[in-house]
Amino acid sequence: MKLLRYGPAGEELPGMLDREGRIRALRPIVSDIDEDVLSPEGRRFLAAVDVAQLPVVPGAPRLGPPLRRVREIIAIGLNYRDHALEADLPIPAEPLVFSKSTSSISGPNDDIVLAPESAQTDWEIELGIVIGSVASQLGQDDAMASVAGYCVVNDVSERHWQLQRNGQWGKGKSFDTYTPIGPWIVTPDELTNPQGLALTLSVNGQARQRGHTQDMIFSVAQIVSYCSQFMTLRPGDLIITGTPAGVGLGMKPPVYLAAGDVIDMAITGLGEQRHVVR
């Protein structure tokens, strides 16, 4: 299933994408795409629904973040060797974990608004993992059962705040609009191998990032298991799994986003995002 939310910001309604690419309305069957819907029981309920009987949403409405409330954003840094090398940082021996503020979340095609006086805002395409059930101290063999689905995420990063303002990386990654999510959540019954996905990102039509999740240092199962060792993961948590090489910071000289730039990005089977920078 591909679960989404559509409509004006703050007024989004729940929906599902059918096989023809049309949005089908899910209200009043469900109130929103929330923890209840993403639970194993909720997904089984929706899987039994006859999608053809749901109303087609007319036109091309704005798509919002596909989850009503993200509890917290858990981010994994330097999870592709080529990205660690371009950043001139050591290859992690275990997952490098940091957090982003949920206030940075925006829709998959919303504008990215540069942080005040930013001259070093960068792009990072990432695979997102949405947690659907409580996970605590799970082994790798059990970790995947807690995953409700996957999505495209842009881990937009203001490098000056991230690297030169002391403290944790989250300061450079938590500005408003710096975490676009979507266009939808794809459930594991439809996407069975998260380590078989191509990631692509371009800026103003020029290819910047070309990666593949098979090259992740730590797999989805390893990441979920690892995080569950020191924190209880709960429905609505979002884990973003790192970015491949090709970010602006790694270019020589570095190249960063400016007002008017257009970012296009996609992950196999998970859809596309497009953003105008302003």
Q: 228: which residues sit within 8 A by CB, 6+ positions away?
A: 135, 136, 137, 138, 143, 146
Across all residues in the chain, what is the average pLDDT?
96
Per-residue burial over 8-41, b = 16 or more CB atoms within 10 Å of its CB, e = otherwise: eeeebbbbbbeeeeebbebeeebebbbbebbbee
Q: Note the pLDDT tens digit of each residue in 81-126.
A: 888 888 888 889 999 999 999 999 999 999 999 999 899 999 999 9
When comparing pLDDT for 206 and 91, which is higher?
A: 206
Q: 120: which residues sit within 8 A by CB, 6+ positions away?
A: 158, 159, 160, 249, 254, 256
Amino acid at 6: Y
Q: What is the pTM of this model?
A: 0.96
What six digits make up the tokens of 214? Answer: 């098979």
CA torsion 113-238-102-9 (nearest 10°) is 60
What kind of fold does domain 73-276 have according to CATH? Fumarylacetoacetate hydrolase; domain 2 (3.90.850)
Q: How do the domains of the chain map onto residue ranges? A: 2-53, 73-276
CA distance 184 to 179: 14
CA distance 97 to 109: 27
Residue 90: the pLDDT is: 87
Residue 99: the pLDDT is: 96
Give the ranges where 87-240 is alpha helix by DSSP (H).
Answer: 140-143, 159-163, 220-230
CA angle 94, 170, 107 (to 5 degrees): 105
Has residue 139 got a pLDDT over 90? yes
